Structure 1
Amino acid sequence: MRPHDATLRFEYESAERARVVTRAVSQEIGEIDGDRSATSVSRDGDTLVVEVVADDLVALRAGLNTWQSLISVAETVNGLA
């Protein structure tokens, strides 16, 4: 059991935009998680949901920073397309 967790929610103007960003970042699941954290990515309509669980607060913060950065890049690239 991992004692620390956080949920990030990103709302978009459409379900299609949320789907594109979700698909872009979900490819990273399992690739960037470490031994001390795990992440799940899902979509609920126009909302992207990222859940990070970690063994300690340092790992939780690192996971949150990583996923926020990935989503920011996906949003930027999607905006350019």
Structure 2
Amino acid sequence: MTGDRPHSAQLTFEYPSPASAATVARSVRPELGEIDSDRASASVDRTADTVTVTVDAADLTALRAGLTTWTTLIEVAEAVD
């Protein structure tokens, strides 16, 4: 969370194996920076079998939109995996 983006949320996704988590993380990472806006940004981290997406936003509307976007991106990556 940064000063100009006081709202933050984390989405945590657990997978059956580190390989599955790596595939999902690798699939969504290219979107970082591409869909960031003046009001929201995101980061993607992976530790073993867990992928964590952190969304930081300037307001609650941007936070909700960011969470919806990243949840959808993860769902698509999971469907392909």
- TM class by smaller structure: over 0.9
- Structure 1 unmatched ranges of 5 or more: none
CA distance in 2, matches of 1:67, 1:10: 11
CA distance in 1, matches of 2:80, 2:14: 17
Once the two structures are superposed, residues 47-73 of structure 1 have per-residue CA deviations (whole angstroms, 9 ceiling, x without a partner) of 000000000000000000000000000
**Percent identity of paired positions between Structure 1 and Structure 2:** 56
CA distance in 1, matches of 2:61, 2:15: 29
CA distance in 2, matches of 1:69, 1:8: 12
Aligned match of 1:32 in 32, 35, 44?
35
Q: How many residues align?
A: 78
**TM-score, L = length of structure 1:** 0.95
Q: Which structure 1 residue ranges, 4+ long, deviate > 6 Å from structure 2?
A: none
CA distance in 2, matches of 1:67, 1:44: 18
CA distance in 1, matches of 2:27, 2:79: 12
SS of the residue aligned with 2:31?
A: coil
- Structure 2 unmatched ranges of 5 or more: none
- Indicate the RMSD between aligned Cα atoms, in angstroms: 0.4
SS of the residue aligned with 1:27?
A: helix
